[in-house]
Amino acid sequence: MKFRPLHDRVLVRRIESEEKTRGGIIIPDTAKEKPQEGEVVAVGAGARDESGKLIPLDVKAGDRILFGKWSGTEVKLDGEDLLVMKESDIMGVLEGAAASKKAA
């Protein structure tokens, strides 16, 4: 993929939630909410402060994050639905989530 976000923007791939509840009930597509968890695909160089100094972003490619329900702008790149959002729309980084997911 040849896309580089500008400034303090981040490219995010949504991580789909489970198809079943803990009790085994299958959730149909029409009842599902959009996931609020995602993986950072690419990040911009950072924002600039009042003096023009570059402030790097706190997130990096590969981080698993939580973001607001209505955050970002949906885009389609290489046939894949992705989100472009500002770093300020990100609520936090899930620590250790990527390692536990890979082990499973």
Residue 104 — very low, low, confident or very high, per pLDDT cuts 50/70/90?
A: very low
Dihedral (Cα; 67, 69, 22, 26), 10-degree rounding: -130
Domain assignments of the chain as residue spans, ordered by start: 9-16+28-98
pLDDT in tens, 41-95: 999 888 888 898 998 888 988 999 999 888 888 999 888 889 999 988 899 898 8
pTM as predicted: 0.73
Task: Indicate the fold that domain 9-16+28-98 takes in CATH.
Answer: 10 Kd Chaperonin, Protein Cpn10; Chain O (2.30.33)
Answer yes or no: is pLDDT of 17 > 70.
no
DSSP 35-93: PSEEEEEEE-S-EE-TT--EE--S--TT-EEEE-TT-SEEEEETTEEEEEEEGGGEEEE
For 60, the token pair is 């990096």
Q: Is-contact 13 1, C-beta < 8 A?
A: no
